[in-house]
Every structure is written in structure tokens, then in C-alpha cells.
Amino acid sequence: MKKEEKAKLLLQDFPELTQQEIDGCLKKMKHFMMFLHDHQSCKCGNCGETITLTDNPEYLLNLEHKKDSVCPACHQPVTAMCDCYCYSVEKERNASNFVIFRKGENQICYAFCIRIRLRMEKSPNLPAREYYRVTETQRYAFDGKFCYRYWKHPSGWCYTKHYTEPTWDQSGMNYHRDLNYQVLDFSPLKDTCLQYAQLDCPDLTNYQMFRYIQFYCKHPNIEYLIKIGCAKMVSEWFGYYQSFVPDWIDWKQNDVRKMLGLNAYELREIRRQNIAVDVYRIAKENTPFLSETERLEMIPIIQGCYGYLSIFSDDSQKRKILRYLRKQNQRYSVENQHVLLSDYRDYLSECRELHYDLKSREICFPRCLADAHRRTSSAVQVLRAEQERQEREKRRKQAQKLFVQHQEERQKLAFQSGNLLIRIPESVEEIVKEGAKQHHCVAGYAERHAKCKLHILFIRQKDDPDKPFYTMEVSTDGSIMQVRGYRNRDPTLEVAKLVEEYRKYLKTVFRKRKLMKSA
């Protein structure tokens, strides 16, 4: 029989929801505690108990609208709602999604997906009451071989080939898609095709249950992994984000050791030491040079650091390094063992930068790695600071050399008018000092000025030519780009008049030939 034909037959035999199942779902929901605006009495929507002011005055007087509390009668969480408020928004305030399993014939298992919305209803001259609405969104059927999903069409229920997790609502503006749901009861799974699927395992959390069921129907031996304590790993395979099933598991095997590619000793030890199976498998693939006992002992050190081992080509050297790091952990009780390998890699890199002799055993394997790493880190910082100072000095000398080459030709840019003058900087350091005193960014232009990619000029008062006043940038084609004063202030009227006169002067200088293009 084809899958589509079987799906239609199962839909014909699909049972209907019962009121008992809906009541069971309602008991799992957070209900309303409806109270009068004068705080004389309240009624719990879960247990139906009415509490008066004489019964529990402290509880009633502390009720606030839309605030969560606990019913003193049934001890269940409730949301307090005052009878004088009745907005349509309350309709969606308490809404929950449920999956209800039902046993069928020939080990068929059915699943209902429903959404229940609770709201408080208030009519004139009548007490407030709790109202609920049940919406069945999808149906599922499982026969042990295939999974069937049905969606609701205006004309009735229809089978769809698109098998996905259940959807409960439509997302839109200011309305998020709700993906959470809870299972009413797992007991109907007994004597069905899903009775060994381990769906009731408490360690299976935050996973897509219907995707897992689809995989279980294809590979029922996945239950062995959950039974040996790998439920967390299985949950990650069917998680909501970036989930996938690894390809290194042999699903054709019924022996869990052959499935995982482990022997009896390895499987027993990783269960005893609570080591994740996938973590050990990755370690085994990346450390074939280690024995099983050594690998199990070094899992905390090598986990997630396999790339650091690749810089060592010799397997014997890798084994020697890992044994050394294990002794470091045993001797000094390192808190974060997973950083030992990366710290050792950094230590060796710093030793090479400091030109230490790595053939020396004392250097290569210090007695305390943490202390040795701190010393080399400090020494490298001093070395790099000195190298940076030398590099800056080298660039300064090169800039000053270029600066001097064009200094004579730049003298044509000097100018004076009235009580102000424009002069040429005498050195790169003078431009840097100008920026520091004026609190602007002209220091960043010093190197480009030295290479003649632009011209920095100082505007000074004649009676004090060494005191910073205004700074000017001129391009290589004679255009005045900017004039800045203290803290980037705009030019005064006197300075602006000088700038206009200087702009006319620059036209005469640059008319004959382009002055000093980039060096």
C-alpha cells in the first residue's frame, strides 16, 4: 500500500478529542484569579474555589491586576484579574500548546496538537468567569515505519507530504511565533510503535520531538543511545538551531559499541567518568597516538584544542607534550584544564620571539608552566614596546629627511598681512606639538606633510610667532582645505580676512607650476 493511501485510511480512523483530555490540559495551564474591584472576594479559575475577605483578608488585599500569585486553595500559579477590566488583549494572555497522544489499533499512535486560550469574560450585572477556547492545529499518525502529518483545510482535514514540527500560530507584526508545547501524558504510548522511543526521558529537553520521532521510525536503535545516558547528545542533534545527526554512527548495528565505534572498556569508562560520547569520538580521531587510558585521562586537556596539536608533526612529541601538561595539572591543580594546551602553544611562540633555546629541556618543559608563561609574556611586552619605539624613530627620521628635502621650496608659501603671518613648520615634531597644544588632529597629517602630499602651515601673530594661534591645511593644487584654531574653533574675522588674501596669493604661486607634487 502506498504511503498516501495509508495516510487517508488513518485519517478516516482518526479518533476525536474528548472532554477529559481537554480538562487534563486545562489543569496544566496557568489560570486566572478573578477578584472584585472592592477586594471582597475572588474565585480561582483552576479549582473553582471562592475566597472571601473573611476567609483570607491578607491574600485578597494583596491581589493586583495582571500580577502572578498562587491560589491558597489549590496551590497552583494563577494570574490575578480584576472584574472591572475586560480588554480583548486578555484573550491571548494565557495561551498554551499541548500534544495529546492516543493509542490506536495495530500499534498505531495518534497525536493531537491543540492550542488553548484562556480569557476572563465579564457581562453587565454578572460576575466575571473564565472562558477557554480550544483550537486543533494539526494531527499526526505513526505506524512504526512512516510518519503522517495532517493540516486543517476549510473543507476538512488533509494529508500533507511536508512533515515538520507542529505550528501553533502565525507570526506577524508585534506577534511572535510560539514554538513551545507540552505533552499531556506519555502513558498512551504503551503498546504502540513509539513505546520504546524514550519520549518520556527527562534528559530529552529543548529538542524537536516530532523530528526525533521521524528519525526513530527510520532508526529505532537510537533508543540505545538514550538508555546509556546520551540523551543530552541526542537532544542537541534535534535542537531548534543548527541541529544535525553526525555521520560517524553506524545505524545498521544493533550493538551500541559497534554503533559508536568503541570497545567495551571505552564505553564503560566514558559512562563512569560522565564524558560525552561525541567529545570522546572527536578526541579519538585526533589523537590516534594515545592509548585508551591516556586519552580518557587527557580529555579535559585536549577537548576543543585539537588544532593546537597540529603544529607538532611528530606523534611522539605530541604524546610527550600531553604527558607534560597532565603532570602540570596533577601538580598544580589547574582550574581551567582546557586552556593548558593553548597556554603552552603561546609560551613556545613567545620563547621563539625571545630567541630562547628550545632544545633546552628547562626552556621547553619548565617546572611551572604558568609562572614561565607570565615571565615570557612580560618579556615579550617589553620587547615589542622597544621594537615599536625603534620603528617610530625610524619613521620619524625618514619623515624628517623628506621634510628637509622640500623645506626650501616650501618657503614660497610663507605670507604676512597686517598683524598676522603664515609660516612653514620647521620639523615634524613641531607639527605634532601644534596638535597637542591646540587640541586638534593636525599631528595625524605630519607624515603626509613630510611626503609632500599636502602642506601644513601655521598662522601666527607677528609679535609672538612661536605661540600656536591657527593651523591651516593646503592641498598640492593650492586649495585651502581647512583652518582650525584651539579645539577646532572657526577663524576669527581677522584670520578670515588673512585667509582670503592668502587664497589670492596662492593662485599666483600655483599658476606658474604645480608646487611640490607628492614625493
Query: What is the value of pTM for the model shown?
Result: 0.67
pLDDT tens-place string over residues 496-511: 999 999 999 998 888 7
Q: What pLDDT, on a 0 to 100 scale, did the predictor assign at position 123?
A: 65
- In a domain, residue 324? The reply is no
- In a domain, residue 78? The reply is yes
Q: Which three cell numbers stand for residue 78?
A: 494563577
- Which range has the top average pLDDT, 99-103, 340-344, 405-409, 449-453? 99-103
Long-range CB contacts (within 8 A, 24+) of 5-10: 6/143, 6/146, 6/148, 7/141, 7/148, 7/150, 7/159, 8/159, 10/108, 10/141, 10/143, 10/148
User: Is 273 strand, coil or helix?
Assistant: coil
- In a domain, residue 280? The reply is no
Is residue 89 pLDDT above 50, yes or no? no
- In a domain, residue 228? The reply is no
User: In 10 A of CB 161, how many CB atoms?
Assistant: 9
Mean pLDDT, to the nearest integer, of 174-197?
A: 85
How far apart are alpha carbons 458 and 388 in whole angstroms?
A: 30
Q: What pLDDT, on a 0 to 100 scale, did the predictor assign at position 451?
A: 86
Which of 140, 164, 189 terminates a domain? The answer is 189
Q: What pLDDT, on a 0 to 100 scale, did the predictor assign at position 171?
A: 46
pLDDT tens-place string over residues 31-72: 888 888 888 888 888 888 888 988 888 998 888 888 889 999
- Tally of CA atoms within 13 A in the half-sphere of 420 that contains its CB: 21
Mean pLDDT, to the nearest integer, of 475-490?
A: 92
Q: What pLDDT, on a 0 to 100 scale, did the predictor assign at position 191?
A: 93
pLDDT tens-place string over residues 247-292: 889 999 989 999 999 999 999 999 898 888 888 988 888 888 899 9
Instruction: Read off the pLDDT band of 92 (50, 70, 90).
Output: very low
Is residue 479 pLDDT above 50, yes or no? yes
Q: Are strands 31-35 and 109-121 parallel, antiparallel or unpaired?
A: unpaired
pLDDT over 70 percentage in the chain: 93
Which of 145, 166, 189 terminates a domain? The answer is 189
Q: Find the domain containing 77 and state its range.
A: 3-189
- In a domain, residue 390? The reply is no
Instruction: Pick the more confident residue, 230 or 178.
Output: 230
- In a domain, residue 506? The reply is yes
Lowest mean pLDDT among 83-92, 203-212, 344-353: 83-92
Q: How many domains does the chain have?
A: 2
Gyration radius of the chain over CA positions: 40
Which of 134, 167, 189 terminates a domain? The answer is 189
- In a domain, residue 447? The reply is yes
- In a domain, residue 11? The reply is yes
